[in-house]
Amino acid sequence: QGKQRMISSFFAPK
């Protein structure tokens, strides 16, 4: 099983 990444590590806050 891989580790689930957070979406914020790909999409930065505006």
Partner 1 sequence: LFHARFEQAGLVDAIKDLIQDSDFHCRDSGIALRNMDNSQVAVVVILLEAGGFLPYHCDRRLNLGISLTSLTKIVHYAGDEATLALKANDNPDTFNLVLECLQTGCIIKYDIKSRDIDQEHLEIPKTDYAATITIPSAEFQRICRNLSQLLESVANEASEERIKFSSSGDIGSGSATLRHNSDLTGPIALTISLKYLVNFSKATALSYSVTLSLSSEVPQLVEYKVESGFARFYFAPQIGE
Footprint on this chain of partner 1 (rule: CB under 8 A): 1-14
Rounded to the nearest whole angstrom, what is the least distance from the CB of residue 4 to partner 1 in the complex? 5
Q: Nearest distance from residue 6's CB to partner 1, in Å? A: 5
Dihedrals phi, psi of 10, to nearest 5 degrees: -110, -35
Q: How far is CA 11 from CA 1, 2, 6, 7, in A?
A: 23, 20, 9, 6
Q: State the nearest-atom distance from the C-beta of 12 to partner 1, in Å.
A: 5
